[in-house]
Every structure is written in structure tokens, then in C-alpha cells.
DNA sequence: TATTATAATTCCCGAACGGGAATAAAAATT
DNA sequence: AATTTTTATTCCCGTTCGGGAATTATAATA
């Protein structure tokens, strides 16, 4: 897997979100199966998400970010 | 339509995103058809999104936010 | 209030999500 | 290197998205 830098600024792609999810999941010592269990979803969804699949459902993404203690903020472009 | 306050802080629901989209779209003098055209999608998707449908596709949501000049930022919960 | 513009809802339906389970691949640990 | 754990990929298949178009409802303007 190509190690990509984590986005410090704005999110521009689903792949960046996937990287964030994978990073913070591991940071908390969780496997994909763990996170899938917490989110009441399947491991395939977690895998898809972490690999940057853009067509995943929006609310599921929000749920995962929430479970990992990540906040989403939307602001006007400066 | 119930006028709801726009979220100043973190996004917690798809409905909040929908409110943001609707607000900024109108602010820029765009109709749903206009925005749908820009995003190469249909008016039904815009309507669904603005009404808080959570199962819309993640990358489409990002595209719309982008087109409206809105930035997405994901940070660790303080 | 009448008229017009905009938005929401419904229908049909092809395309694709996503769960579960199994397998393959990759990573980690000893 | 061998074993074990974790992750990725594939399959089957029910469910649902989402486009287009038409209709209904709502909002806006004269």
C-alpha cells in the first residue's frame, strides 16, 4: 500500500478521508473488524472506505468519523 | 419549510449539510437545476441532499460543497 | 389573488451499494 | 522462513441509489 501523507488542511478526495480513517483506526488499536462491529456494518465497507471508494454512503462515513473521535467542519473557502 | 439554524461548529447530521447546501446555493443565486447542471447530476439528487438524505454518495456531496466554495475539514475532537 | 418560478414528490428502471462469507493477499510477529 | 493476524478481493443477491420526466406542492412576484 502506498503510504500517503495525511491531509492537514482541507479534504479534497475520498482517498484522503480513507487515509485519515485508516490512520486513526490503527492509532486506537482497532482492526477493520473492530470498527465494523462498532459501526454495525461490514468489514468490506471499512475496507472500501479506507481505500478511497467515493460512492460510499455519506451518513456511514460520518458515523465512522464520529466513532473515531473526528470532527467534521464545513466553512466558506477563504 | 422549517427554518433551521445553520451549524457554526461541527457537522453532526446529513440534515445540517443539507441546510448548508441550500443556504449557500441560494446565497449565490442558484436554483437546484443550476447546481445540478454544474455538478452534472439531477435535480432530485440536489433535493435529496438538501433534505437531509443520509444515504447519498459521499463523493457527490463533496463535489457539491466544492462547487459552492465550501471547505471540508476533519480534525481530532478537542 | 392570480401567475409564474422554484422545489418536492412520485414513477420506472438500470446500475451499484453493501452485507455475509469465503478466498487470496499482505503484514506482522515469533 | 513459518505462522498467525489483518486486510483486500470476489461472489451471490437483496436493497436502494439516482437519472429523467411528469406531477404536485410551495414560494415568490406582480
Q: What is the pLDDT of residues A14-44, one digit of tens each?
A: 999 999 999 999 999 999 999 999 999 999 9
Residue A33 CB coordination number (10 Å): 11
Domain boundaries, chain B: 14-67
pLDDT higher than 70, residue B8: no
Q: Using one digit for the tens of pLDDT, what is the confidence trace for B10-39? A: 898 999 999 999 999 999 999 999 999 999
Whole-number Å distance between alpha carbons of B56 and B45: 8
Measured CB to CB, residues of chain A less than 8 Å from chain B are 7, 9-14, 17, 20, 24, 54-59, 61-62, 65-66, 69-78
DSSP labels, B5-71: PPPSSB---HHHHHHHHHHHHHHTT--HHHHHHHTTS-HHHHHHHHTT-TTSBHHHHHHHHHHTTEE
Neighbours of B23 (CB within 10 A): 14
Residue A33: CB less than 7 A from any atom in strand C:
no
Chain B residues in contact with A62 by the CB 8 A cut-off are: 11-14, 54
Give residue B2's pLDDT band: very low, low, confident or very high (50, 70, 90). very low
Domain A14-67 falls in which CATH fold?
434 Repressor (Amino-terminal Domain) (1.10.260)
Check residue A75 and give its pLDDT.
Answer: 94
Amino acid at each position: 500500500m502506498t503510504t500517503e501523507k495525511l491531509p492537514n488542511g482541507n479534504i479534497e478526495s475520498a482517498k484522503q478521508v480513507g487515509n485519515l480513517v485508516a490512520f486513526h483506526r490503527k492509532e486506537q488499536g482497532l482492526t477493520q473488524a473492530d470498527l465494523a462491529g462498532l459501526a454495525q456494518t461490514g468489514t468490506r465497507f471499512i475496507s472500501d472506505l479506507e481505500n478511497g471508494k467515493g460512492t460510499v454512503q455519506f451518513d456511514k462515513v460520518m458515523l465512522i468519523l464520529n466513532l473515531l473521535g473526528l470532527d467534521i467542519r464545513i466553512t466558506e473557502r477563504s
